[in-house]
Amino acid sequence: MSTVIRSCPGCKSLLLSDTAQCPECGHVFYERRDSVTSAVVDVGSMKTTSVVDPCPHCGEMVRAGLVRCWSCNGFMREDIAARYRDMSATPQQIIYSTIPLAQRTDYLPARSDTLKGEIPRAYDALDFELSDSISGPGADSSPAEFELDANPMAPPARAVGAAGSTASKVPATPPDGPDKPQHKTPGEKPKTSEKSGAADAASPETSASKSGAKADGNDDDLLSIAMQEERELKKRRGDKIAERQRKMMLMPCTCGAWIRVSEDQAGKVVRCRQCKQPVNVPQIRRKVEKKNDKPAVAKLTVKWIENVQFFRIAPTSIVLKPGSVADKFVEADLGITNSQIVVIAFTGADKKKRGLLGKAPKIDRVEQRKQIREQIAAAGNFNSLTDVEVHSISAEQVPEIRLVQPILKAHESMFAGVPVFGDGRIAIFLPIVSDGGLQAFCAQGLTTFRKLHEVLRTNFKLELPANENGVPDADKTDSLNCFINQSRVESVRGLSYYQQDSAFELELSGYRCKSCTAVISEEGRKKNKLGGASGSGIGKAKCPKCSGKMGEELLYRIKKSPGADAAGQSPEA
């Protein structure tokens, strides 16, 4: 056995690895928390104490600090021995607690005989008792029917010679035994013997004995085949019994035995084969999974376009004036799937719910949209919506959607190029059939139209000519030079679309003279004090280049863009 030696961190003395306290300096390696077994060590006295102490039981010298003697295994100190006896006499008590019903599980009690090292036996339950008159199979049969010969493998004796003579017994196996190796392989020609003439002159008795030995070999083959079939039959029977026992449940008996019961015996009284006492089989409860009889609702994937202005107007009643129908809309959302476009107009709640003074109460659109999403997800369609108007456009009707504002060519425009839905708004025609010759339109800002156009392009391969009619498909700016200080002035293209879209934040960057198209930055205007300190009179101010009136043509740059925040990109120059 190897010994590990370590040094004391206090006095650098070499000590054994199991030393609890250094005898030179009194350094404690393992602090003992037990107040009974711990003792105060005097450092001064430890220096004069010997390394070994005599055992109080056997007198052997034991190294100081050990609890037990290495020879007799007795305690070196009486207080430790008394504490050990107290702990052994009064073991820790087991505290039982009540398990809540929700946490209880069915289980079988522990087998008491397994603690003693015995393996209990399992028996099949007895559902009935045999009559006293029946002692077993074959009780009335004579014992002679079950007697076997001493050598069951030996064939019956054969008679040789004339009738009435005593038959000579021929051994069942050849003298060399049935397992004697053959001298030739199958298919090999037999070797010719030197004494072939003597073999041809053999007597008839010798040939008869050879034919009898051949018949005995055939009987041995049939017997081995029958024994092999019997073994296979026993194996199949054992497999069936084992499979049946695996499907049975084991329940304990008071005598220590285990009883196998089937599911059909639940709630019945069976009898133990070991103690012959009746045992009640409890009811077998199976955990039944609740099946949802409702058919599974197919998940509907919907892409939402919110805050769309929905119009239903007659084209003949429209006055060709900018913004003439801008206030005749209903707030709506567009739900777009792979097979249809659904317009959900929030009109039903405003008509049904009225206050005391006849005014419609304020409706929380966020909460209403949340309820609509939940109803669509639960039903898998848009048919169960209430308090709203639902208009659907099938995939076959999607190609009829047209851009009606803006249209640069007036002769191709439905409204002669006039922005009747408001300046900076983008409107499209929706193929929705309405009574009274009303036609459906929807108008939206630049950000909403970009989302709608992308969904139409992805789901239905529909491309609207928005970019050709002046709608910016991306944020683009023009870089101009200031006439006063030659600084850079950024001017966003299509300013009216950005001014009408609350998702963009614009910042004033400069001014353009309507007379000579000179550009002046905001810093240059402040430096020359054009239009006053705040620039409110810039329209009447004189241009420093042409001395004409500047006019109110303001230039803006994009300070905050939702597309730039999402993609981490800046507007294109």
Same domain, 490 and 465: no
Which of helix, strand or coil describes residue 386? Answer: coil
Predicted pLDDT of residue 226: 87
- By residue count, the chain amounts to 573
Contacts of 322 (CB under 8 A, 6+ apart): 418, 419, 420, 422, 423
Instruction: Give the CA distances from residue 38 to residues 25, 31, 35, 79, in Å, rounded to whole numbers and listed in that order.
Output: 18, 9, 5, 10
Residue in 175, 157, 176 with CA at minimum distance from that of residue 167? 157
Q: Is 296 exposed, middle or buried (0-12, 13-18, 19+ CB in 10 A)?
A: exposed
Q: Is residue 380 in a domain?
A: yes
Predicted pLDDT of residue 170: 41
Q: Is residue 314 in a domain?
A: yes
Q: Which 8-state DSSP code applies to residue 183?
A: S
Instruction: State the total domains in the chain.
Output: 4
Q: Is residue 208 in a domain?
A: no
Q: Is residue 432 in a domain?
A: yes
Residue in 419, 439, 447 with CA at minimum distance from that of residue 326? 419
- 521-554 core/surface letters (b: 16 or more CB in 10 A; e: else): bbebbeeeebbeeebeebeebebbbeeeebbebb
Helices (H), 411-531: 446-460, 495-499, 522-528
Residue in 390, 289, 395 with CA at minimum distance from that of residue 340? 395
User: Strands (DSSP E) along 140-214, which ranges?
Assistant: none
Contacts of 279 (CB under 8 A, 6+ apart): 125, 251, 253, 259, 269, 270, 271, 272
Contacts of 180 (CB under 8 A, 6+ apart): 174
Provide the CA 252 distance to its chain's centre, in angstroms.
39
Same domain, 485 and 524: yes
Question: Which residue in the block uniquely carries the two structure tokens 């023009």?
Answer: 478
Same domain, 274 and 382: no
Same domain, 450 and 382: yes
Residue in 390, 376, 402 with CA at minimum distance from that of residue 456? 402
Contacts of 158 (CB under 8 A, 6+ apart): 167, 169, 170, 212
Contacts of 20 (CB under 8 A, 6+ apart): 28, 29, 30, 32, 65
Predicted pLDDT of residue 336: 92
- Report residue 17 as tokens: 């690895």
Render each residue's pLDDT in the chain as its tens digit; 573 residues: 455 667 788 777 767 677 777 777 778 876 654 444 444 445 444 444 578 899 999 989 998 888 899 889 899 989 988 988 888 887 667 777 777 777 766 555 555 544 455 555 677 776 544 344 434 434 443 333 434 444 444 444 444 333 343 434 444 444 444 444 444 444 444 444 444 444 444 444 555 555 555 556 677 888 888 888 998 999 888 888 888 777 777 778 888 888 888 878 888 888 888 888 888 888 766 666 666 666 665 678 889 999 899 999 988 888 999 999 999 999 999 999 989 999 999 885 444 455 555 555 667 888 888 988 888 888 888 888 888 899 999 999 999 999 999 999 988 998 999 999 999 999 999 999 887 889 999 999 999 999 999 999 999 999 999 999 999 988 899 999 998 888 899 999 999 999 999 899 999 999 999 888 899 998 888 888 888 888 888 888 888 888 888 888 899 999 988 865 444 444 444
Task: For residues 5 and 17, give the distance between their C-alpha atoms in angstroms, rounded to a whole number.
Answer: 5
Q: Is residue 128 in a domain?
A: no
Domain hosting 266: range is 249-280
User: Strands (DSSP E) along 69-209, which ranges?
Assistant: 122-124
Same domain, 325 and 379: yes
Q: Is residue 410 in a domain?
A: yes
Same domain, 499 and 452: no
Are the C-beta atoms of 310 and 429 separated by less than 8 Å? no
CA neighbours within 13 Å on the CB side: how many for 135? Answer: 4
Same domain, 558 and 485: yes
Same domain, 314 and 443: yes
Predicted pLDDT of residue 18: 73
Are the C-beta atoms of 449 and 466 separated by less than 8 Å? yes
- Report residue 246 as tokens: 């695996």
Same domain, 393 and 497: no
Same domain, 336 and 451: yes
Q: Is residue 116 in a domain?
A: no
Q: Is residue 145 in a domain?
A: no
Residue ending a domain, among 89, 104, 120, is: 89
Task: For residues 442 and 312, give the distance between their C-alpha atoms in angstroms, rounded to a whole number.
Answer: 9
Predicted pLDDT of residue 321: 92
Same domain, 265 and 413: no
Contacts of 405 (CB under 8 A, 6+ apart): 413, 415, 419, 420, 421, 425, 426, 427, 443
Same domain, 342 and 368: yes
Predicted pLDDT of residue 380: 83
Amino acid at residue number 279: V
Task: For residues 367 and 385, give the distance between their C-alpha atoms in angstroms, rounded to a whole number.
Answer: 14
Instruction: Give the CA distances from residue 44 to residues 38, 473, 480, in Å, rounded to whole numbers and listed in that order.
Output: 18, 94, 96
Give the CA angle between residues 421, 426, 429 to the nearest 5°: 80
